[in-house]
């Protein structure tokens, strides 16, 4: 397939920060793709360039894009990677690269009269012949702490408690029907909102970066108690998840956890306590992004089929780090964020490695999102265990859920 025109345009994400969008046309079709941005980014992620810099690189590559007849996704992505030529994608920028890669996938699927998830699935089958398409479990982030929390200025002086150290608190409906799952998280979101109003002044309840609630909880246990009470009271078929994003509260070998400096051993005991007390299904980035050993220690201690210990900043959707995590027995699942690596081909490669090594995949949005729904198609196409798309409100989050429901229909 020849590309006829390629354009790079600026766009604001859900945090009103600048990101970018690509428009590609073939002779017959025109498609768009935009990319998100993280805030608690792992230091090993591929590099995203600021828009003006990205535009300078794009100006250099875009005419070359018109000269090749790209026969496959791999072909196109290889062209981008070779043109970039760097390990961390800083020449073209992983953000531009991913927007191009997704737009190319959309163009190819239009040409082939295929849905994007089918196109992805077909690409994936060449690596994992036994792969099945399926709707993922919804790992819905309803309470935002850490770098994603949002607090009024009166908040600290009034409550004298630290903001939540953990970044995300999820509910995870364990139902196969994604529309039913979405209904459950919407219901939980509304009930949680009403419950929080009974604890806090409405002026102190804010919306965090991923559209979950932020409020002066006195500890993570308070959030977990509220979640478990709701789940029990209404018999919701749901588990609970946490993304600690521990690199964000790590400094010089210690963790600043709920206003107190603690060691990694103390943090590990806290996790064991939480796992013993609550119906925890999912624990992401419990330790600093380079501490594979502590992940392994925790994993060994709490090993169970029903608990996912998940790498995000640890593994950054990149093969060498996922391989290291596997070698060290550090995790049994990894977050899959396409913009951590740059192209769809690399994403499919790393997911096939995960599956071959007994790990589950959880496709994920970023905290600064756009209206692009590619991760929903990706999750279905690779048969991911789960998807993280935030709270089911605000367009940048809800379009991902709606796309999943539409696919399942
Ligand atoms: P980020 O956070 O998009 O700000 O990096 C999401 C996450 O840590 O999972
Ligand atoms: Zn994370």
52-71 average pLDDT score: 95
For residue 377, pLDDT over 90 is answered with yes
Within 8 A by CB and 6+ apart from 382, the residues are 120, 121, 124, 131, 336, 348, 351, 361, 363
Q: For 93-219, where are the alpha helices, taking DSSP H only?
A: 94-111, 116-125, 154-159, 178-199
Ligand 2 geometric centre to CA of 313 (Å): 6
- At residue 149, the pLDDT reads 87
- At residue 150, the pLDDT reads 76
**247 C-beta closer than 6 A to ligand 1:** no
Q: Per residue in 296-328, pLDDT tens?
A: 999 999 989 899 999 999 999 999 999 999 999
Q: Per residue in 107-122, pLDDT tens?
A: 999 999 999 999 999 9
- At residue 40, the pLDDT reads 87
For residue 67, pLDDT over 60 is answered with yes
Residue whose CB lies within 8 A of the most ligand 1 atoms, among 285, 331, 366, 368, for a mutation test = 366
Q: Which domains does the chain have, with CATH numbers?
A: 5-113 (3.30.390.10), 137-408 (3.20.20.120)
Q: For 261-394, where are the alpha helices, taking DSSP H only?
A: 264-277, 292-302, 319-327, 344-356, 374-381
For residue 158, pLDDT over 80 is answered with no
210 is catalytic: yes
For residue 72, pLDDT over 80 is answered with yes
Residue 394 near residue 373 (C-beta atoms within 8 A): no
How would residue 244 be classed by pLDDT, with cut points 50, 70 and 90? very high
Residue 240 near residue 224 (C-beta atoms within 8 A): yes
- At residue 63, the pLDDT reads 87
**243 C-beta closer than 6 A to ligand 1:** yes
What residues pair up with 368 in beta bridges, in sequence order? Answer: 37
Q: Per residue in 177-228, pLDDT tens?
A: 999 999 999 999 999 999 999 999 988 899 999 999 999 998 999 999 999 9
Residue whose CB lies within 8 A of the most ligand 1 atoms, among 39, 247, 339, for a mutation test = 39
Q: Per residue in 122-135, pLDDT tens?
A: 999 999 999 999 99
- pLDDT > 90: percent of the chain: 92
Element (H, E) at 282: strand 280-284
**170 C-beta closer than 6 A to ligand 1:** no
342-349 average pLDDT score: 98
Q: For 13-69, where are the alpha helices, taking DSSP H only?
A: 51-65
């Amino acid at each position: 397939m020849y590309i006829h025109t390629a354009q790079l345009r600026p766009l604001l994400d859900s945090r009103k920060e600048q990101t970018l969008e690509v428009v590609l046309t073939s002779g017959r079709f025109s498609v768009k793709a935009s990319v998100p941005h993280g805030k608690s980014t792992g230091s090993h992620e591929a590099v995203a360039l600021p828009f003006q810099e990205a535009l300078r690189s794009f100006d250099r590559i875009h005419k070359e894009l018109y000269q090749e007849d790209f026969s496959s996704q791999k072909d196109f992505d290889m062209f981008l990677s070779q043109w970039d030529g760097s390990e961390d994608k800083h020449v073209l920028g992983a953000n531009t690269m991913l927007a191009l890669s997704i737009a190319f996938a959309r163009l190819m699927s239009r040409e082939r009269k295929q849905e994007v998830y089918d196109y992805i699935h077909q690409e994936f089958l060449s690596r994992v012949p036994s792969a099945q398409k399926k709707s993922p479990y919804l790992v819905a982030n309803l309470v935002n702490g850490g770098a994603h929390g949002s607090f009024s200025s009166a908040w600290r002086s009034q409550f004298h408690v630290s903001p939540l150290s953990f970044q995300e608190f999820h509910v995870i409906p364990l139902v196969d029907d994604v529309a039913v799952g979405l209904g459950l998280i919407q219901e939980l979101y509304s009930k949680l909102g009403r419950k929080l109003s009974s604890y806090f002044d409405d002026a102190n309840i804010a919306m965090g970066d991923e559209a979950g609630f932020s409020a002066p909880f006195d500890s993570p246990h308070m959030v977990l108690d509220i979640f478990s009470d709701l789940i029990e009271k209404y018999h919701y078929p749901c588990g609970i998840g946490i993304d600690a994003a521990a690199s964000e509260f790590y400094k010089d070998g210690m963790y600043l956890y709920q206003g107190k400096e603690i060691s990694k051993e103390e943090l590990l005991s806290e996790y064991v306590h939480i796992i013993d007390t609550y119906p925890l299904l999912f624990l992401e980035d419990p330790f600093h992004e380079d501490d594979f050993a502590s992940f392994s220690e925790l994993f060994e201690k709490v090993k169970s089929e029903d608990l996912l210990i998940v790498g995000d900043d640890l593994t950054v959707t990149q093969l060498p780090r996922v391989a290291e995590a596997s070698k060290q027995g550090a995790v049994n699942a990894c977050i899959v964020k396409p913009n951590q690596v740059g192209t769809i081909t690399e994403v499919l490669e790393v997911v096939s490695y995960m599956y071959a090594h007994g790990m589950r995949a959880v496709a994920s949005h970023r905290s600064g999102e756009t209206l692009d729904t590619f991760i929903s198609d990706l999750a279905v196409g690779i048969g991911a265990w789960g998807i993280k798309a935030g709270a089911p409100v605000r367009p940048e989050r809800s379009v991902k859920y709606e796309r999943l429901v539409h696919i399942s229909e």
